Amino acid sequence: MKALVWLIGVAITAMSILVILKPQIARDIGERMNPQMFYFGAWARIIIGMIFLAISDTRSWGTLFNVLGILLIVVGAYALQAGYERTRAFVLGIVHGNENLVRVAGAVGVLIGILLISAT
């Protein structure tokens, strides 16, 4: 289980660093998003949020892990509730908008990835 959490953390961190360095990657992913990628991403957020909640008791920053876990679960559940088309339009609006906003989202991804890595 620890190795899986570590691998997920490394993947999220690496992808987020790429998005910070080259926001065009986020645009490409947003434009290529299909329903399978959408559902995978939404459920991945929910599962990572549940991992954060499960490990929050064992970490010194338990409140941070609780808040991030709840936030990820809510975001994933909202994406599932909103549906593919609405969420895709929202994502495309963000990635085609301000490039700095895309970089901030990448920075949040780096934070989440580092927290997952530190959780192992």
What pLDDT, on the 0 to 100 scale, is given for residue 110? 94
Reported pTM: 0.76
CA distance 82 to 85: 8
Q: Distance between CA atoms of 119 and 8, rounded to whole angstroms?
A: 11
- The domain ranges of the chain are 2-118
Q: Decide: 113 and 26 in contact? Cβ < 8 Å.
A: no
Q: What is the pLDDT of residues 85-103, one digit of tens each?
A: 998 888 888 888 888 888 9
Q: Is the dihedral of CA 21, 23, 28, 33 positive or negative?
A: positive
Q: What average pLDDT does this structure show over 49-78?
A: 86
